[in-house]
Amino acid sequence: MRKEAQSKIDERDKEIIRLRGIIVKIMALANIEAVNLSDSKLTLTINPNIASGLNKGFEYKAPIISNNSEGGKLSGAWLRMLQAVKMFHPVPVSVEKISFWSDTGINKSTFKNGLSFLKSKGYIQKSDGNVVLTDEGDRAAGNVEAMPKDFNRMVEIWLNRLGPSWAEMFKVVLGAYPSDVHESSISELSGIERNKSTFKNGMSRLRTLNLIYETVKGRYRVCEEFMN
Protein backbone atom coordinates (compact mmCIF):
# COMPACT_ATOMS: atom_id res chain seq x y z
CA MET A 1 0.00 0.00 0.00
CA ARG A 2 2.85 2.37 0.81
CA LYS A 3 4.44 1.65 -2.56
CA GLU A 4 1.16 2.49 -4.33
CA ALA A 5 0.83 5.72 -2.37
CA GLN A 6 4.41 6.70 -3.18
CA SER A 7 3.85 5.91 -6.85
CA LYS A 8 0.86 8.27 -6.87
CA ILE A 9 2.93 11.01 -5.27
CA ASP A 10 5.65 10.46 -7.88
CA GLU A 11 3.02 10.77 -10.63
CA ARG A 12 1.85 14.07 -9.17
CA ASP A 13 5.40 15.41 -9.10
CA LYS A 14 5.94 14.35 -12.73
CA GLU A 15 2.75 16.17 -13.71
CA ILE A 16 3.99 19.35 -12.05
CA ILE A 17 7.35 19.05 -13.83
CA ARG A 18 5.54 18.54 -17.15
CA LEU A 19 3.50 21.69 -16.56
CA ARG A 20 6.63 23.61 -15.60
CA GLY A 21 8.16 22.75 -18.97
CA ILE A 22 5.07 23.99 -20.82
CA ILE A 23 5.03 27.24 -18.87
CA VAL A 24 8.70 27.94 -19.50
CA LYS A 25 8.12 27.64 -23.25
CA ILE A 26 5.31 30.20 -23.30
CA MET A 27 6.64 32.71 -20.76
CA ALA A 28 8.37 34.84 -23.37
CA LEU A 29 5.23 35.01 -25.51
CA ALA A 30 2.78 35.57 -22.66
CA ASN A 31 4.95 38.12 -20.80
CA ILE A 32 4.45 36.32 -17.50
CA GLU A 33 5.88 38.20 -14.56
CA ALA A 34 5.97 35.47 -11.93
CA VAL A 35 5.46 31.75 -11.48
CA ASN A 36 4.63 30.26 -8.10
CA LEU A 37 4.94 26.48 -8.13
CA SER A 38 4.05 24.47 -5.03
CA ASP A 39 3.08 20.86 -4.36
CA SER A 40 -0.61 21.51 -4.88
CA LYS A 41 -0.93 24.40 -7.30
CA LEU A 42 0.70 26.42 -10.03
CA THR A 43 -0.03 30.17 -10.06
CA LEU A 44 0.86 32.53 -12.92
CA THR A 45 0.91 36.31 -12.55
CA ILE A 46 0.48 38.05 -15.91
CA ASN A 47 1.77 41.52 -16.68
CA PRO A 48 -1.15 43.89 -15.98
CA ASN A 49 -0.40 45.80 -19.18
CA ILE A 50 -1.06 42.62 -21.12
CA ALA A 51 -3.93 41.26 -19.06
CA SER A 52 -5.73 44.45 -18.11
CA GLY A 53 -8.93 43.84 -16.22
CA LEU A 54 -7.64 40.71 -14.49
CA ASN A 55 -7.41 41.12 -10.73
CA LYS A 56 -5.60 37.86 -10.06
CA GLY A 57 -3.28 35.40 -11.74
CA PHE A 58 -4.35 32.29 -13.58
CA GLU A 59 -4.29 29.32 -11.22
CA TYR A 60 -3.98 25.64 -12.07
CA LYS A 61 -4.64 23.24 -9.21
CA ALA A 62 -2.86 19.93 -9.48
CA PRO A 63 -4.99 16.83 -8.92
CA ILE A 64 -5.28 15.95 -5.23
CA ILE A 65 -3.64 12.68 -4.29
CA SER A 66 -4.28 11.04 -0.96
CA ASN A 67 -1.66 8.91 0.78
CA ASN A 68 -4.50 6.47 1.40
CA SER A 69 -4.56 4.27 -1.70
CA GLU A 70 -8.22 3.45 -1.13
CA GLY A 71 -9.30 7.08 -0.90
CA GLY A 72 -6.86 8.66 -3.36
CA LYS A 73 -7.77 10.01 -6.76
CA LEU A 74 -6.09 9.15 -10.01
CA SER A 75 -3.95 11.81 -11.60
CA GLY A 76 -1.14 12.30 -14.07
CA ALA A 77 -0.18 9.49 -16.42
CA TRP A 78 -2.41 6.84 -14.83
CA LEU A 79 -5.49 9.02 -15.20
CA ARG A 80 -4.59 9.78 -18.83
CA MET A 81 -4.20 6.05 -19.46
CA LEU A 82 -7.64 5.32 -18.04
CA GLN A 83 -9.16 8.18 -20.01
CA ALA A 84 -7.57 6.83 -23.20
CA VAL A 85 -9.38 3.53 -22.63
CA LYS A 86 -12.65 5.36 -22.01
CA MET A 87 -12.24 7.43 -25.17
CA PHE A 88 -12.63 4.26 -27.27
CA HIS A 89 -15.19 2.53 -25.00
CA PRO A 90 -16.87 0.09 -25.59
CA VAL A 91 -14.30 -0.93 -28.23
CA PRO A 92 -11.31 -2.84 -26.75
CA VAL A 93 -8.09 -0.80 -26.91
CA SER A 94 -4.54 -1.99 -27.56
CA VAL A 95 -1.81 -1.06 -25.11
CA GLU A 96 -0.07 0.75 -27.98
CA LYS A 97 -3.06 3.08 -28.38
CA ILE A 98 -3.27 3.64 -24.63
CA SER A 99 0.41 4.59 -24.60
CA PHE A 100 0.01 6.89 -27.61
CA TRP A 101 -3.09 8.75 -26.44
CA SER A 102 -1.93 9.06 -22.83
CA ASP A 103 1.54 10.25 -23.91
CA THR A 104 3.13 7.61 -21.68
CA GLY A 105 6.04 5.51 -22.95
CA ILE A 106 4.96 1.90 -23.36
CA ASN A 107 8.31 0.59 -22.07
CA LYS A 108 8.40 2.91 -19.07
CA SER A 109 7.75 1.61 -15.56
CA THR A 110 5.09 4.31 -15.21
CA PHE A 111 3.06 2.66 -17.96
CA LYS A 112 3.54 -0.92 -16.77
CA ASN A 113 2.79 -0.03 -13.16
CA GLY A 114 -0.20 2.00 -14.28
CA LEU A 115 -1.77 -0.92 -16.12
CA SER A 116 -1.23 -3.16 -13.10
CA PHE A 117 -2.75 -0.58 -10.75
CA LEU A 118 -5.79 0.09 -12.95
CA LYS A 119 -6.41 -3.64 -13.28
CA SER A 120 -5.99 -4.25 -9.53
CA LYS A 121 -8.57 -1.55 -8.81
CA GLY A 122 -11.03 -3.15 -11.20
CA TYR A 123 -10.98 -0.15 -13.56
CA ILE A 124 -9.90 -2.16 -16.61
CA GLN A 125 -9.91 -5.77 -17.79
CA LYS A 126 -7.93 -7.68 -20.39
CA SER A 127 -9.80 -9.00 -23.44
CA ASP A 128 -7.97 -10.98 -26.15
CA GLY A 129 -4.77 -9.04 -25.57
CA ASN A 130 -6.53 -5.67 -25.49
CA VAL A 131 -7.96 -3.57 -22.66
CA VAL A 132 -11.63 -2.82 -21.92
CA LEU A 133 -13.21 -0.43 -19.44
CA THR A 134 -15.31 -1.55 -16.47
CA ASP A 135 -18.18 0.34 -14.86
CA GLU A 136 -15.85 1.31 -12.00
CA GLY A 137 -13.28 2.57 -14.49
CA ASP A 138 -15.94 4.56 -16.32
CA ARG A 139 -16.74 6.46 -13.14
CA ALA A 140 -13.09 6.91 -12.12
CA ALA A 141 -12.08 8.33 -15.52
CA GLY A 142 -14.46 11.27 -15.22
CA ASN A 143 -15.76 13.19 -18.23
CA VAL A 144 -14.00 12.14 -21.42
CA GLU A 145 -14.90 13.07 -24.99
CA ALA A 146 -15.54 9.80 -26.81
CA MET A 147 -13.97 9.07 -30.17
CA PRO A 148 -16.65 10.36 -32.56
CA LYS A 149 -18.65 7.95 -34.69
CA ASP A 150 -18.62 10.42 -37.57
CA PHE A 151 -15.83 9.15 -39.84
CA ASN A 152 -14.57 12.54 -41.04
CA ARG A 153 -14.41 13.90 -37.51
CA MET A 154 -12.60 10.76 -36.31
CA VAL A 155 -10.02 11.12 -39.09
CA GLU A 156 -9.51 14.77 -38.17
CA ILE A 157 -8.82 13.89 -34.53
CA TRP A 158 -6.31 11.19 -35.50
CA LEU A 159 -4.50 13.47 -37.95
CA ASN A 160 -4.19 16.21 -35.34
CA ARG A 161 -2.81 13.75 -32.80
CA LEU A 162 -0.31 12.19 -35.23
CA GLY A 163 1.31 15.51 -36.04
CA PRO A 164 2.10 17.03 -39.46
CA SER A 165 4.60 14.51 -40.89
CA TRP A 166 2.94 11.28 -39.79
CA ALA A 167 -0.47 12.70 -40.65
CA GLU A 168 0.65 13.36 -44.24
CA MET A 169 1.93 9.79 -44.49
CA PHE A 170 -1.33 8.38 -43.17
CA LYS A 171 -3.40 10.55 -45.53
CA VAL A 172 -1.60 8.99 -48.51
CA VAL A 173 -2.51 5.46 -47.40
CA LEU A 174 -6.02 6.53 -46.45
CA GLY A 175 -6.55 8.17 -49.83
CA ALA A 176 -5.60 4.96 -51.64
CA TYR A 177 -8.18 2.83 -49.77
CA PRO A 178 -9.43 0.20 -50.58
CA SER A 179 -6.25 -0.30 -52.60
CA ASP A 180 -2.82 -0.54 -51.07
CA VAL A 181 0.10 1.77 -51.86
CA HIS A 182 3.86 1.28 -52.06
CA GLU A 183 6.03 2.96 -49.45
CA SER A 184 7.90 4.81 -52.21
CA SER A 185 4.62 6.53 -53.15
CA ILE A 186 3.91 7.28 -49.48
CA SER A 187 7.29 8.98 -49.28
CA GLU A 188 6.87 10.90 -52.53
CA LEU A 189 3.31 12.09 -51.92
CA SER A 190 3.90 13.00 -48.27
CA GLY A 191 7.16 14.79 -49.04
CA ILE A 192 9.11 12.78 -46.45
CA GLU A 193 12.25 10.97 -47.59
CA ARG A 194 12.28 7.21 -47.04
CA ASN A 195 15.78 7.21 -45.55
CA LYS A 196 14.85 9.72 -42.85
CA SER A 197 14.06 8.59 -39.30
CA THR A 198 10.79 10.56 -39.47
CA PHE A 199 9.55 8.26 -42.24
CA LYS A 200 10.80 5.03 -40.68
CA ASN A 201 9.44 5.88 -37.24
CA GLY A 202 6.18 7.07 -38.75
CA MET A 203 5.57 3.85 -40.67
CA SER A 204 6.37 1.84 -37.56
CA ARG A 205 4.01 3.92 -35.42
CA LEU A 206 1.15 3.74 -37.92
CA ARG A 207 1.47 -0.06 -37.92
CA THR A 208 1.63 -0.46 -34.13
CA LEU A 209 -1.44 1.76 -33.79
CA ASN A 210 -3.32 -0.57 -36.17
CA LEU A 211 -3.92 2.25 -38.61
CA ILE A 212 -2.15 0.55 -41.52
CA TYR A 213 -0.79 -2.92 -42.30
CA GLU A 214 1.57 -4.42 -44.85
CA THR A 215 -0.26 -6.36 -47.58
CA VAL A 216 2.89 -7.56 -49.37
CA LYS A 217 6.47 -6.43 -48.90
CA GLY A 218 6.65 -2.65 -49.16
CA ARG A 219 2.92 -2.08 -49.79
CA TYR A 220 0.44 -0.81 -47.18
CA ARG A 221 -3.30 -0.43 -46.73
CA VAL A 222 -5.52 1.12 -44.07
CA CYS A 223 -6.70 -1.40 -41.46
CA GLU A 224 -10.33 -2.48 -41.75
CA GLU A 225 -10.65 -1.82 -38.02
CA PHE A 226 -10.14 1.88 -38.68
CA MET A 227 -12.55 2.03 -41.63
CA ASN A 228 -15.30 0.30 -39.66
Q: Which of 141, 160, 176 is the last residue of a domain?
A: 141
Domain, as residue range, for 81: 76-141
In a domain, 71, yes or no: no
What is the tens place of the pLDDT at every residue in 134-162? 999 999 999 999 999 999 999 999 999 99
- Helix/strand/coil (H/E/C) assignment for every residue in the chain: CHHHHHHHHHHHHHHHHHHHHHHHHHHHHHCEEEEEECCCEEEEEECCCCCCCCCCCEEEECCCCCCCCCCCCCCHHHHHHHHHHHHHCCCCECHHHHHHHHCCCCCCHHHHHHHHHHHHCCCEEEECCEEEECHHHHHHHCCCCCCCCCHHHHHHHHHHHHCHHHHHHHHHHHHHCCCCEEHHHHHHHHCCCCCCHHHHHHHHHHHHCCCEEEEECCEEEECHHHHC
pLDDT grade for 66, boundaries at 50, 70 and 90: very low
Q: Which of 107, 141, 175 is the last residue of a domain?
A: 141
Number of domains in the chain: 3
Lowest mean pLDDT among 61-70, 169-178, 213-222: 61-70
What is the tens place of the pLDDT at every residue in 31-41? 554 555 444 44
What is the tens place of the pLDDT at every residue in 1-40? 566 666 666 666 667 666 666 665 555 555 554 555 444 4
Mean pLDDT, the chain, as a whole number? Answer: 81
pLDDT at 74 over 90: no
CATH assignment at residue 104:
1.10.10.10
What pLDDT shows up at residue 228? 84
Residues 217 and 155 in one domain: yes
Choose between 2 and 121: higher pLDDT.
Answer: 121
Q: What percent of the chain lies above the pLDDT cut of 90?
A: 65
What pLDDT shows up at residue 180? 97
In a domain, 69, yes or no: no
pLDDT at 178 over 90: yes
Q: Which of 94, 118, 141 is the last residue of a domain?
A: 141
Residues 89 and 112 in one domain: yes
pLDDT grade for 191, boundaries at 50, 70 and 90: very high
